[in-house]
Amino acid sequence: MRSSNVMLLIIFSICCCISQAHDFTLDFLNAHNKARAEVGVPPLRWNNTLAAYAMIYAKSKILDCKMEHSHGPYGENLAEASWEMNNAEVVNYWITEKDNYDRNSRSCVKEECGHYTQIIWRDTVQVGCAKEKCTNGWMFAICNYYPPGNVFGQRPY
């Protein structure tokens, strides 16, 4: 009887972890795809290789939480905050740059909008993201995109 209770506890724990991981990816993915749907581009798919790359890089930033790009082979958005942003908040933070993007000229007209244009880049089809809490208490988030967007001389869609 006792071993069956232990087995049930193990199964429950595994199911909870799988469910949390699924929610983690869906929160990032749904926020991205909502913005993409607004401009009529196809939804992104989650890519575990991109997510693993993002996780390795996020873990490397734990000590300083510096906003430095990895200079890897993928498109990349970074965010940091002094509080624990949830996954949708991270993506929505980048989407606030939408107001800096002029749809007619398809260019940034005010301030930065490259995070937003990476999210809506038509040719980008996959995303993988990660978050880590840094030793200074801040949160570091990264999403990687394939193929990369923000190609000079091209429009997002």
Q: What is the pLDDT of residue 4?
A: 54
Q: What is the pLDDT of residue 9?
A: 37
CATH of 2-146, one of 3.40.50.2000, 3.40.50.970, 3.40.33.10, 3.30.470.20: 3.40.33.10
The amino acid at 155: R
Q: Which residues of the chain have pLDDT under 50?
A: 1, 6-20
The distance in angstroms from the start CA to the end CA of the chain is 61
Dihedral, 54, 57, 63, 67 alpha carbons, nearest 10: -80
For the purposes of burial, counting CB atoms within 10 Å of the CB of 148, is it exposed (0-12), middle (13-18) or buried (19 or more)? Answer: middle
Q: What is the pLDDT of residue 6?
A: 42
How distant, in Å, are the alpha carbons of 51, 59, 60, 85, 92 from that of 135?
A: 22, 11, 11, 16, 25
Cβ pair 156, 142 in contact under 8 A: no
| pTM of the shown model | 0.85
| Secondary structure (3-state) at 14 | helix
